[in-house]
Structure 1
Amino acid sequence: MAFYVNPIIYTLFITLFISFTTLANSTLNMWPGSQYDTSIPTFKQVLGYDVGERITDHRDMLRYFEALELADPKRIKLFEYGRTWEGRKLIYAAIGNSENIADLDGFATQMQKLSDPRKTDKNTAKSLINQLPSSVWLGYGVHGNEISSTDAAMMTAYHLLAAKNEPTNQAILKSTIVFIDPLQNPDGRTRFTSRYYATVGMKHSSDRLSAEHNEPWPSGRSNHYLFDMNRDWLAITQPETAGRIKAMNYYRPLVVIDLHEMGGDQSYYFSPSAQPFNPHMTKTQIDNMSVIGKNNGKHFDRLGFDFFTREIFDAFYPGYGDSWPTFYGASASTYEVSSSRGEIFKKNTGEMLTYFNTVHRHFVASISTAEAVAKNHEKLLADYYEYQVSAIKAGKDNKKERVFIMPNQRNKAGTHRLATLMAQHDVDVFRAKEAFKSCGKSYQAGTYYIDTAQPKGRFVQTTFTQQVDMDSNFLKEQERRRSRKLNDEIYDTTGWSLPLMFDVDVEHCGKAITIASDKVSENDKLTGAVTNLAATVGYVVQWGDMAAGRFLTEALLQNIAVKSADKAFVLDGKHHFNAGSLIIEKRNNDADLMTKIEKIAALTGAQVMGVNTSWVTQGPSFGSGNTVTMTAPNIAMAWDVPVNSLSAGSTRFVIERQFNYPVTAIRTQTLKTADLSHYQVLILPAGNYKSVLGKAGVSNIKQWVKQGGVLITLGSATKFAADHTVALLDVKRERAFKDSDDKSSDDKSKEESMVDGKLFTSKDDLVSASENSKEKPDYVAGVLANIEVDQEHWLTAGVNKSLVAIAAGNDIYTPIKLASGKNLAWFNAADNVLASGYLWEENKKQLAYKPFLIHQPMSKGMIISFTQDPTTRAYLDGLNLMLLNSIFRASAHASPLR
């Protein structure tokens, strides 16, 4: 007997059946024993695929979280915390019981009270601890090609909302607010997903040789400006970092987890971290992460997941997403899962690692962490308050460096930048409204100071103190390993003092400062001013900081005629100006110059002096040959393979976003034959260009330089320029210095089948004979090194005579001969070369007095080479003026046919 079936109802039935079947096969097995409320939408219902079946892109991630909020608005709330450079929305979700979600602002207010024992006594704190929920912040996908964490974030949110009767879930939501930042790097993930699915053929390949598993340049790891944003937590240069720091400073989550991926052949990593720990972290914080790690281990054992702890990923450098939160009092850690880098990956063991596997593990770790926070919520709150109490006490007890003082007389722009940056970190920074004395020294009104007797005092100590030491036993072990020719276990840079990197003068005192002061805000603007705006002759801008640098770039972009003095000068016997100072003459500019000058000064914070005379009593006159006319150069930068993407990104960012000047990125292959005649500057970021450019590319660039171009090489690009087959730069890299009586060559011994016998009397003889006589210097993870600057060259005009640079890797160069060029900055003596961090003794000795900045004229153009990268992570602000000179003053000194 036939009967009618409504096609709409039939379709709906089939859809629900498929959804239920898929749910039963995957989602229900992710946390055994869970039953899910059908009122909460699944992946399948919103996106058309189940969890772990496909790599979710940014747009669909937003759709899914919006669907969750629509379905259960009382228990989940979404917030936008910023936009990426490419305009993508950044969100976090707060999930909890309806009472807590209804009063998130009230929760934040109470956490702020708990964060400051100067305002909240112990009795009030105890009451808050008894009332407040605990909180955990789960951050996913800061590296855009570490893909599983975002889908795990979505599954975590779904589980928290839909598994209403699951006991673990109930315990979490009863006492804890879970903050989920599901995708910290939308631009990088979009780059990855679009390229990945473009390579997929008839079926997904598990072969690590396949295009699916080999990303094109640049990878999806970094954001739009190619920053590794897990290293941006100190300088806060990127909008993604700034937004989440603001949110975390608002809520002060007690536990922060940053979820990552690692190599596909590994298993899963979680806390406790490897040695060394930052000495400004507390034992309680470290112990709390061990408790959470142990809870993770329990669930991983239950589900049969492999894992490991302690072996890698230390907690020393304070600029990671898992270390920065510890300095407001949180306990924090990194989690790492083996990556499928696609939908399926064949491990070396032969096991097939699926995308679902990786999502599943991150999901379990997320729920397990939230469970541990809930179980320990009162202890975590109490520990958090005690952290603030002990931080204030530690500051008061510091009789040497209680207060850091920034005099603000030299490098005003840099000092202002550092003061407002610390305020952005939620540090209490003050600016004196009057002159004062501290520890016997006099300071002017406008001086900035930071008292470490505050809740963020440990953060100030770890970022302002010149040296933060690693554990002595850890260092002994590294030296032992090095003696055995084993790789060291130092994970990242070992020196990061912000005042040194920003070239900011800082002094300290062991006593509190009590004077009339204004509290500094992150939004405070650097005030520019023009004295004698109605000047008859023109205007002069003192050179020496980035306010003046930005004044120059803005003036050039507005077609204002600007000169720059190669040497210091004295105007009318009264006013002293540094070498490099800018001169804007009314006679060479339009009638609206006065209005433009006033607006640019206000925009850039520059100090401008109007002058009624050009009578110079010392140094070059306005019309001297030592006063050059500045030009607005067209800047090209090498882009694409083999360029180091981090170097390219940070360099482009510094020029475009800190100098406020445009850069044209040109693919390296194009440079082989491109007509570069309309560019005045070409920058080669770090990278090994030899194989890509070849002889034709080298010849093309060399001819362009000879015709008046300025070639700037950074870091390992200098290695390329110095290669004897390239012969752009007349220096050479050095092998490791060997202080040995045995001067025989490896090459000579290879010419014979046998060599003369030797007697060994100790193990040291064996080690010595085993060494390669032509090996490179030992590799350095990264330290801050002192450099000295030649003060008598136009390229270093206005640059401080002493600066700090990053020294990393093992490239050390011979000085350039005077017949070829000049060494304009060099590393200090062996006993003073180390500014901060840990540097092998042999490297100290060999690095001493070796060049950092090299200038080599070539016909009408020139080559300017930095032996280390001056734009690393865009946090070496103190080197910005040197780089700016290398672009703008150098192009003014080149002599192309115009």
Structure 2
Amino acid sequence: MTKLIRYLFFLLAVQPAFAQTPTPDQFLGFPLGSRFAYHHLIVDYFKSVQAQNADRMKLVEYGKTNEGRPLMLAFVSSPENIAKLESIRTNHLKSVGLLPGKADASVPPIVWLSYNVHGNESVSSNTSMKVIYELLNKQNALTQDFLKNMVILVDPCINPDGYERYTQWYNRVQNVVPDVTPFGLEHDEPWPGGRFNHYLFDLNRDWAWQTQIETQQRIALYNQWMPHFHADFHEMGPSRSYYFPPAARPYNKDVTAWQRQFNDLIGDYCRKYFDKNNWAYFTRNDYDLFYPSYGDTWPTANGAIGVTYEQGGGGRAGLALERGNEHDTLTLNNRIAHHYATTLATLEAVLSQKDKVVSEFIKFHQDATNAPVGNFKTYVVKAGSNARAFSSWLDKQGFLYGTAGKSQSTKGTELTTETEQPFKIEQNDLLISAYQPKSNLLRILFDPKPALEDSVTYDVTSWGLAYIFGLKAYGLKEKLTPASANPAAVDNPVPATSPYAYLASWSSAGDVAFLAELLKNGLLVKTSNAAFEMGTVSYPAGTLIITKKGNESLPFDKLVTSLANKHFVKLTPVATGFVNSGPDFGNDNVIALRAPKVVAVAGDGVSATAFGAVWHYFEQQIKYPVTIVNAAKLASLPWNEVDVLILPDGRYGDIISEKQLEAIQGWVRNGGKLIAMERATDAFVSKSGFGLSKKFSDKKKDDDTFKKYGDQQREDASDSSPGSMFEISMDATHPLAFGCANDYITIVRDAYERDYLKDGWNVGYLKEDNYKAGFVGKKMSGKLKNTLIIGAQEIGRGQVVYLMDDPVFRAMLQKGKVLFGNAVFR
């Protein structure tokens, strides 16, 4: 009873203090920076702050992660602005043409602050609590000035699943007194690390492609607000200091003069804080503004001022880390102070140019709508297998488009060959006019060969939409107005009389998902390994054939048509198994596809992102079950229960022993299928029974030996391909190439120098002239000629598929998804 009375007195004593906005220390029960706050505590803190400041803060849950954690955004401003928040939003969008009508009032600058896109760059979310407290601290004259003059959006954690993966691990292993020893356990984050989201995707590279649920939900809200400024807070290696703008070269050529100027201005304001405190920093190195899928470049292409901040630290830093190079100990408190300082610098810079920030944003979009830059005033995308996936992506980006509505002959530049040619626009082709507010983003993403002003760059250097989506697309110099209608829905009615079979195309990721669901539902599905003709219609090899025979026990017509409608697949019912030319449906060349038991390997030694791409492919793209096994347990697999084994990119030298190699080969001989991807293929090079061998390059020349130390970065670049487009020459007759053989273009990021298979099928390879676009170093260039990219080897009753290129890389390549479906199911 005495303890209860004391507790009640305590509550009464602290109640007046907590009627005010609680500090992070008061709410958490420990000093901010003394430990990592769990994600739910950060969310609860934001809710608590909002409850005390309802007139100056609005907290919105804009989505959930794959693991069910909330995605939150706080809107902070003056009471007057919060009261008319929706009016500010609509007037803002009207002023730039993204909503109809004219704005009836001016709007203040809208600044979006994004923290913790990489989960183990965990200082950001902890900093966000200090930021939100100080923004609402009435005693802070500077921040109150911010609230009067702008609307500030604070996202405390873009990647809650990754953040929590890191935080849970670190808080379990940390010493009571943080161990500053670099080789201590608390500085040795285990696989797969907290950097990535649930599916181990890098969310900072997903802005343009929106493959992940977090990105999709965030950009849906972003497009409703279109901020004038977006700041993205990161961490880098712990031995480094702090990076803030000006950004490094290369800049995308479409970054405007005003955006470049403001990039410099941000640096001026950041330096003021860092010089005052004698903090180390650097600018104009490493972090460029080229690839348009980052948290700085995608907003920049949308007219905002987009910037990146990078604090030395990351997952290895923990709470405290001794740094010999700096003769100091880097602490979480240091890192919070630095990110807080650049947050203030950001807001001060915007405040200093608040009117011009708004007027330049309006001008950016008005110019885009009325006088778009660039040679092409209209983009035409031919109706076809990937057009529906493309139109769905256009919707997510917020682009305006429609169908042609009528047929006409014209002339345009085919975007994958960059050749001007006559062609015919059909009524169902997509037309995308450059005369729209988001014209600049449209032009940048359609660009088949973006100009690169500097070879030292950070990521992918080519991304043309025609390449990515496998489209036949044209750029026109004339302005065409699309019809208002979007692509028609696919409707396969249940026929009155059951057909002999249904035929379905095989050329898109949707077709793969359709097959996967047919197999999951127990349907017998066949495919033709050769082209055939029925009536006047030709059907390519790989066409799916779903016969009534073998499916009598199921509600055949209803099930097949409903699944086809779900996946937007157009069915062709046929009344016979007899064809004009090619194999009849009972021919040995028409084979049954079965539902395989698929196993994918994860764990130490395996690339987390490569595994994540495979995992996401099965669970989210085609929704087909995949069993995940730890690489360390590979030796104990019950081989008789496995049909397909996938080895994602990784270093398998310590994973696959000679004994395990024999076991794998024996399993393949008995009918198993092995899919080895990228560096996983190293485990089979020159191994007995496997036909893979290395193609050796010429010996180094003398001038390579006597290279200059100061040229090291550029020397490294000369032997790299950070991400460039190549057209792979394909054997269109092999089942691995079905549905994707024509113009198969991929993103090449490395050279594996594989010789052609002498005992197997060279399905995809690079010849002398397969380069399309993007940066390839002069040393790398020779390695990407006359080399195997996709191979298949039959061993006994089974098969090994070698993929020196990752077809499901970042879930970007539509034709790659078809090729991977071939590897798994055919």
SS in 1 for 2:249: strand
**1:70 counterpart (51, 54, 69):** 51
Q: Deviations over 1:795-826 (max 9, x none)?
A: 32232322111111232211111xx1010011
**1:343 counterpart (288, 297, 319):** 319
C-alpha separation between the residues in 1 aligned to 2:176 and 2:504?
Answer: 64
C-alpha separation between the residues in 2 aligned to 1:144 and 1:359?
Answer: 15
Matching of residues 762-773 of structure 1 within 5 Å: none
Is contact 2:583–2:589 with CA below 8 Å preserved after alignment? yes
Name the residue aligned to 1:872: 809
**1:426 counterpart (395, 398, 411):** 398
Q: 1:425 to 1:344 in 2, by over 3 A?
A: same
Q: Deviations over 1:237-274 (max 9, x none)?
A: 11110111111111111110000011112111111100
Q: 1:618 to 1:649 in 2, by over 3 A?
A: same
Name the residue aligned to 1:507: 474
C-alpha separation between the residues in 1 aligned to 2:248 and 2:368?
Answer: 24
Shift of 1:526: 5.4
C-alpha separation between the residues in 1 aligned to 2:650 and 2:9?
Answer: 60
**1:825 counterpart (746, 764, 779):** 764
**1:145 counterpart (104, 117, 120):** 120
Name the residue aligned to 1:383: 360
Is contact 1:404–1:508 with CA below 8 Å preserved after alignment? yes
Q: Residue type matched to 1:502 in 2?
A: F
Name the residue aligned to 2:387: 415
Is contact 2:720–2:777 with CA below 8 Å preserved after alignment? no
Q: Deviations over 1:88-128 (max 9, x none)?
A: 110110000011112221111011112129967xxx77x75
Shift of 1:53: 1.8
Name the residue aligned to 1:31: none
Name the residue aligned to 1:179: 153
* 2:698 matches 1:737: yes
* 2:796 matches 1:796: no
C-alpha separation between the residues in 2 aligned to 1:248 and 1:118?
Answer: 14
Question: After the TM superposition, which parts of structure 1 deviate over 6 Å for at least 4 consecutive aligned residues?
Answer: 13-17, 117-120
Q: Deviations over 1:597-620 (max 9, x none)?
A: 121111111111111111112111
* 2:144 matches 1:170: yes
Q: 1:714 to 1:633 in 2, by over 3 A?
A: same
Q: Residue type matched to 1:334 in 2?
A: T
Q: Deviations over 1:405-456 (max 9, x none)?
A: 0011x32xx1111122122111112223333444464222211111112221
Name the residue aligned to 1:806: 747
Is contact 1:532–1:611 with CA below 8 Å preserved after alignment? no
Name the residue aligned to 1:55: 36
Shift of 1:534: 2.8
Over the aligned positions, Cα root-mean-square deviation in angstroms equals 2.5
C-alpha separation between the residues in 2 aligned to 1:239 and 1:431?
Answer: 28
**1:578 counterpart (516, 540, 549):** 540
Is contact 2:201–2:810 with CA below 8 Å preserved after alignment? yes
Name the residue aligned to 1:660: 623
Q: 1:154 to 1:676 in 2, by over 3 A?
A: same
Is contact 2:112–2:231 with CA below 8 Å preserved after alignment? yes
Name the residue aligned to 2:338: 361
Question: TM-score w.r.t. structure 2 length?
Answer: 0.93
Q: Deviations over 1:129-174 (max 9, x none)?
A: xx31111110000100000000111110000111x14231122011
* 2:133 matches 1:158: yes
Q: 1:515 to 1:885 in 2, by over 3 A?
A: closer
Name the residue aligned to 1:480: none
Q: 1:343 to 1:14 in 2, by over 3 A?
A: farther
Shift of 1:843: 3.4
Q: Residue type matched to 2:465 in 1?
A: L
SS in 2 for 1:809: coil
Q: Residue type matched to 1:310 in 2?
A: R
Q: 1:444 to 1:333 in 2, by over 3 A?
A: same
Most deviating of 798-807 and 141-150: 798-807
Shift of 1:329: 0.6
Question: TM-score w.r.t. structure 1 length?
Answer: 0.86
Q: Which structure 1 residue ranges, 5 or more long, are not aligned?
A: 20-36, 476-488, 743-762, 890-898
**1:189 counterpart (163, 169, 182):** 163
C-alpha separation between the residues in 2 aligned to 1:517 and 1:351?
Answer: 63
**2:451 counterpart (458, 469, 473):** 469
Name the residue aligned to 1:628: 591
Q: 1:502 to 1:594 in 2, by over 3 A?
A: same
Is contact 1:77–1:93 with CA below 8 Å preserved after alignment? yes
C-alpha separation between the residues in 2 aligned to 1:337 and 1:13?
Answer: 42
**2:794 counterpart (831, 836, 857):** 857
* 2:525 matches 1:562: yes
Is contact 2:249–2:284 with CA below 8 Å preserved after alignment? yes
Shift of 1:490: 2.1
Q: Which structure 2 residue ranges, 5 or more long, are not aligned?
A: 412-421
Q: 1:515 to 1:302 in 2, by over 3 A?
A: closer
* 2:497 matches 1:534: yes
Matching of residues 193-592 of structure 1 within 5 Å: 193-339=167-313, 341-348=317-324, 349-395=326-372, 398=374, 400-408=375-383, 410-411=384-385, 414-439=386-411, 441-471=423-453, 474-475=454-455, 489-514=456-481, 516-518=483-485, 520=486, 527-529=490-492, 532=495, 534-571=497-534, 573-589=535-551, 590-592=553-555
C-alpha separation between the residues in 2 aligned to 1:525 and 1:638?
Answer: 40
Name the residue aligned to 1:100: 81
Q: Residue type matched to 1:82 in 2?
A: G
Shift of 1:678: 1.0
Matching of residues 670-709 of structure 1 within 5 Å: 670-709=633-672
SS in 2 for 1:280: coil
C-alpha separation between the residues in 1 aligned to 2:333 and 2:496?
Answer: 67
SS in 2 for 1:427: coil
Q: Residue type matched to 1:427 in 2?
A: F
C-alpha separation between the residues in 1 aligned to 2:483 and 2:739?
Answer: 33
C-alpha separation between the residues in 2 aligned to 1:856 and 1:544?
Answer: 24
Shift of 1:697: 2.2
Shift of 1:735: 3.8
SS in 1 for 2:110: strand
Q: 1:550 to 1:347 in 2, by over 3 A?
A: same
Q: 1:468 to 1:776 in 2, by over 3 A?
A: closer
Is contact 2:767–2:785 with CA below 8 Å preserved after alignment? yes
SS in 1 for 2:398: coil
SS in 1 for 2:266: helix
Q: Residue type matched to 1:824 in 2?
A: V
Q: 1:178 to 1:533 in 2, by over 3 A?
A: farther
Is contact 2:93–2:99 with CA below 8 Å preserved after alignment? no
Q: Residue type matched to 2:740 in 1?
A: V
Give the structure with higher Rg (CA). 1
C-alpha separation between the residues in 2 aligned to 1:529 and 1:828?
Answer: 43
Shift of 1:84: 0.6
Q: 1:207 to 1:515 in 2, by over 3 A?
A: closer
Q: 1:843 to 1:643 in 2, by over 3 A?
A: same
Name the residue aligned to 2:92: 111
Shift of 1:303: 2.8
Is contact 1:227–1:649 with CA below 8 Å preserved after alignment? yes
C-alpha separation between the residues in 2 aligned to 1:540 and 1:499?
Answer: 27
Shift of 1:196: 0.9
C-alpha separation between the residues in 2 aligned to 1:641 and 1:69?
Answer: 42
Name the residue aligned to 2:60: 79
Identity of aligned residues (%): 29
